[in-house]
Amino acid sequence: MTDKTPKTAAIIVAAGRGTRAGGTVPKQWQTIAGRTVAAHTLDVFHNHPRVDVILFVHHMADTERAKAEAQTFGAHLVIGGATRDASVGAGLKTAQALGVSQVLIHDVARPGLPPELIDRVLQALETSPAAAPALALSDALWRGTGGMVVATVNRAGLYRAQTPQGFHLQPILEAHAAHPGGAADDVEVARSAGLDVAIVEGDEANLKITGPADFKRAEAILGSKALDIRLGNGFDVHKFGPGDAVVLCGVTVPFSKGLVGHSDADVGMHAVTDAIYGALAQGDIGQHFPPSDPQWKGADSNIFLSHAVRLASEMGFRINNVDCTLVCELPKIGPHAAAMVQAMAKIMDLRTDQVSVKATTSEQLGFTGRGEGIAALATATLISL
């Protein structure tokens, strides 16, 4: 887009309590395939190239949970209302303030949404003021009373509605303002205002979680998605300075010198941290903990590594293994390698056989060969949850 004004906003409606789904927390905060329902849903829109802004409409009681998800997926937070209509209205007003031209209104409880369904809705919006996905009914329909069939119903032309439902912003804003409330969905609101709504093909994977049994169906869909395997590498260098010990991979090693750095200069842990950030495409330590910030002066590097591990989890990944190589002539790493593995494994909540710490020299070549400092290289493998 040449214009910096965002064109498309996704409004994720997540202010409901979802009592029919059971559980101790609302359904959007329950876990499927290692992530919350909300995280699965937000991730689809976050990664879609044609969605410019995400508005996460949440219940006031869920503010802290919503903040954590919003930070991960770059979403704007909007406080929802007492009804779905009110929540959508709040999202529409925020979208208007942001200057978007069209919106996708989606129920948070549809976490299996395929990205190509979003494409179909957006394509239909190019020629229609509104568009929504649906599936044609294939089962026979009956009308019943008292547990008995009293009539059959012609299924021709009948559909199961889905979301996201897409609209040009101004018409749906006006439609909501004029509607008395109580609509089943936003298509009903649009139709009451006389808007034409194009039907696009829905998807069986885009199921709505309503009752407890739906979690199993959603687990089967989301759990079967292809694994996302990420590989990241990190490299760090610190020079020697005054001191009587160096900190390497979380272990204090007595030595005739220290390492110079803004934090504790743990070169090995820094390299591993950067490898994790790299696998997540989230920059490096300096971007998350700027050396210009005095609060990190002398900081324990496990703060940085713990943050990278937590970020990986929030983004839907687990660390499978890390490998760190320390490059120096001295101090000798071998006697301390096992302790380093244990320290790193504890911080990352990994088994010790998932963590490798080893050392090599540079054959007395370069700054490490001259005993001027220590370098570290690291690789981390991450696997989607």
Q: Where in the chain is the domain with CATH 3.30.1330.50?
A: 229-384
Q: Other CB atoms closer than 10 Å to residue 173's CB: what's the count?
A: 17
Is the pTM higher than 0.85? The answer reads no
Chunk the chain into consecutive blocks of 10 residues (it has 385) and report each block's average pLDDT, rounded to whole numbers. 70 89 88 90 94 97 93 95 95 97 97 95 97 96 95 95 98 96 95 97 95 89 75 97 96 96 94 97 93 88 95 91 97 96 96 95 95 97 86
- Tell me the C-alpha to C-alpha distance, in Å, between residue 28 and each of 12, 74, 111: 11, 18, 9
Of the candidates 348, 353, 371, 351, the one whose C-alpha atom is nearest the C-alpha of residue 361 is 371
275's CB contacts (< 8 A; 6+ apart) are 232, 233, 234, 322, 378, 379, 380
Q: What is the DSSP letter of 243?
A: -
Dihedral of CA atoms 165, 17, 63, 218 in degrees, nearest 10, equals -60
DSSP-derived letter for residue 5 is S
Residues of the chain with CATH 3.90.550.10: 8-223
229-384 has CATH 3.30.1330.50 classification? yes
| Topology of the domain comprising 8-223 | Spore Coat Polysaccharide Biosynthesis Protein SpsA; Chain A (3.90.550)
The 3-class secondary structure across 178-216, one letter per residue, is HCCCCCCCHHHHHHHCCCCEEEEECCCCCCCCCCHHHHH
pLDDT for residue 6: 65
Distance CA 9, CA 14 (A): 15
Q: Check residue 23 and give its pLDDT.
A: 79
Per-residue pLDDT, 24: 83
Model pLDDT, residue 3: 53
